[in-house]
Amino acid sequence: MIDLICGARPNFMKIDPIIRNLSEKARLIHTGQHYDYSMSGSFFDQLELPRPDINLEVGSSTVTVQTADIMKAYEPVFLQGKPDAVVVVGDVNSTLACVLTAVRYGTPTVHVEAGLRSFDRTMPEEINRLLTDQISDLLLITSSEARINLLNEGRPENAIVMVGNPMIDTLLRLLPESAHSTVPSENFGLVTLHRPANVDDKILLGSILDALGELAPLLLIFPAHPRTVKNIRNWGLQSRVPDNLKLVPAMDYLSFIRHQQAAQVVITDSGGVQEETSVMGVPCVTVRPNTERPVTCTLGTNVLCPDPGSIPSAVIKQIENRPDVPPLIPMWDGGAGARIAREIERILK
């Protein structure tokens, strides 16, 4: 039996194609890192994922406390189930916590989306990526630069396998269904910002809001995290929310990918959004000084914009340079789930 770990919104889209292709018996473990319906339940419904066999229900906390809580909750579940392998995806706290638990008992571990590096150790996700890759047995990568990163960190060549991007499997499967979701009839841009560096800094958040206002009259749809809305209110930034920026609640998956596909441009700080927009051929401006997904800049439609003041010019340039057809990125083809399943079953044999 295999334990498949998911905990946060980005994990569900990556786990889905793996479950669909595994012939081995698997337990789906939801750590509860994301726990409300919009961030968790709606994704199980729309992806038609099986309900988790176990929900650890850890809830939110600081990075350190949450990681420790997941380990404490998962250990008795792990010991009771005695899985033959533990599979984790991405770079959230659940990823590191469950790999650490499994490794201490000598159980083989698989990291899907291994080797991604921003080289910015102020990001909690970067620490999770580095540590998970150092102790995982099988490292399944989405792009060629991940192999270079892992080899440079001393990981063995035979532990690294290129499988492609499972998140794109889910995107390609559900894009036709997302066509039923409604979007504005006028031209619009989509904004998605959640990283603490952008939304937990009063000065930076205010500068970003000012820059978004300079894009008027382009309508901007911003499904804002409750924390971001709270910061805007607590810091008295309401007057700097421009008229062309429409704050809306978090979207379900189908509505969100439909908005991405229909947008003139997407302004984000999300890794997954950089990938999805590249595959759809939608111009993307990433409000960060770095990315752990450089392939989206070299082969995709993404550009980095570390200075909020440069957002308007970057957006205009990206819209002007929109490709006639979506770019092709190797193995981002809808077949990653099958390749991942084969590799997992190979190590079990």
Q: Are residues 12 and 149 in the same domain?
A: yes
The 26-30 sheet, strands edge to edge: 54-55, 26-30, 2-6, 85-89, 109-112, 138-141, 160-162
Q: What is the pLDDT of residue 37?
A: 47
Give the model confidence (pLDDT) of 144-188 as tens digits.
Answer: 999 999 999 999 999 999 999 999 999 999 999 999 999 999 999
Residue 128 CA, distance from chain mean position: 14
Q: Are residues 338 and 313 in the same domain?
A: no
- ∠ CA 275-276-280 to the nearest 5 degrees? 120
Q: Are residues 214 and 155 in the same domain?
A: no
The whole-angstrom separation of Cα 79 and Cα 5 is 15
Please say if the pLDDT value at position 35 is more than 60.
no
Residues spanned by the domain of 77: 2-165+333-348
Q: Is residue 187 in a domain?
A: yes
Q: Are residues 217 and 124 in the same domain?
A: no
* Residue 194 among the catalytic residues: yes
The whole-angstrom separation of Cα 280 and Cα 326 is 6
Q: Are residues 48 and 96 in the same domain?
A: yes
Give the helix ranges, DSSP H, for the chain: 9-21, 42-47, 63-81, 93-103, 124-135, 144-152, 166-178, 196-199, 202-213, 226-234, 253-262, 271-280, 295-298, 311-320, 336-348
Q: Is residue 273 in a domain?
A: yes
Percent share of the chain, pLDDT over 70: 97
Q: Are residues 46 and 116 in the same domain?
A: yes
Q: Is residue 310 in a domain?
A: yes
Quick one: tokens of 195?
């990283």
Q: Are strands 2-6 and 160-162 parallel, antiparallel or unpaired?
A: unpaired
Q: Is residue 87 in a domain?
A: yes
Q: Is 27 helix (H, G, I), strand (E, B) or coil?
A: strand
The whole-angstrom separation of Cα 281 and Cα 182 is 20
Q: Are residues 244 and 344 in the same domain?
A: no
Q: Is residue 325 in a domain?
A: no
Q: What is the pLDDT of residue 24?
A: 87
Tokens 């800049």 identify what position? 297
Quick one: tokens of 147?
């192999």
Please say if the pLDDT value at position 80 is more than 70.
yes
Give the model confidence (pLDDT) of 327-338 as tens digits.
Answer: 999 999 999 999
Q: Are residues 182 and 287 in the same domain?
A: yes
Contacts of residue 120, defined as CB under 8 A and 6 or more positions apart, other chains included, come to 126, 289, 290
Q: Are residues 196 and 158 in the same domain?
A: no
| CA contacts within 13 A on the Cβ side of 251 | 20
- Structurally, the chain folds into a number of domains equal to 2
Spot the catalytic one: 34, 180, 194, 259: 194
Give the model confidence (pLDDT) of 298-314 as tens digits.
Answer: 999 999 999 999 999 99
Q: Are residues 121 and 188 in the same domain?
A: no
Tell me which residue of 58, 76, 53 sits closest to 68, measured CA to CA. Answer: 58
Quick one: tokens of 211?
């820059």
- CATH number of the domain residue 217 falls in: 3.40.50.2000
For the chain, the average pLDDT equals 95
